[in-house]
Amino acid sequence: MSLLSLAGSLRERATEGERLDLGVPEQAALASLQDLRFVNRWLGNPASVLRAVRPHLSPGGRLLDVGSASGDLPAYLLARLPGPLLAVALDVKPLHFHFAPPALRRVVADVRALPFAERRFDVVTASLFLHHFDAAELPQVLRALFRLARRALVVNDLSRARVPYAFGRLFFPLLFRSRVSVEDGLVSIRRGFRERELRQAFAAAGIARVRVTRHFPYRLLAVATRQL
């Protein structure tokens, strides 16, 4: 695919699903989860999330990470924030917790039916998670997440662009062990956001106090806060 045709294909968000979400055999899922841990470590933008979370999470606080899978982000935050902290990792599939550390409290639930009371957590994080939802679902998902946050909702996700997609086509087959990861990684980039799209999603959810910033490598960080 030429760069010109590639640019055309990225004008709008893709709507096709990712194989790991739709369901693959257990061993294929575990191999893909290991690849995702590599992505989270080297390309996940955790340092920016840490800087966004730190002002809102004090010792004794509560953190919820949604779409957590192996729990790499909350584990990273726990290791760098003053404690004690309660960190809850939530994912829709029990298998996704296979590599999660024991320090995390794990909850299996769907984001459309979250089993928590309003403002139960000081901070809610959603890293590389929001792009899994189509545009029509985004306001409902964001409202549900913000409802649980007493102080802040922090969303870290993909910036849809030509460069990361071209990089993925060239290097994902070399970096990832799983073919599922290669295919899902490219779909994820195509499902990523432009900055205005992410702002529009928050606006449609009725969340006014939000700041969206760009970060390396092709990440968007949105921090929605409450006025206490």
pLDDT per residue over 26-46, tens digit each?
999 999 999 999 999 989 899
Q: How far apart are CA 128 and CA 207, in angstroms?
A: 20
Environment class of 2 (CB within 10 Å of its CB; exposed 0-12, middle 13-18, buried 19+): exposed
- Residue entry with tokens 């990684």: 185
* pLDDT at position 4: 45
To the nearest whole number, what is the mean pLDDT of the chain?
94
Inform me whether the pLDDT recorded for 7 exceeds 90: no
Confidence of residue 2 (pLDDT cuts 50, 70, 90): low
Confidence of residue 9 (pLDDT cuts 50, 70, 90): confident
* pLDDT at position 8: 52
pTM of structure: 0.94
Contact 203, 209 (CB under 8 A): no
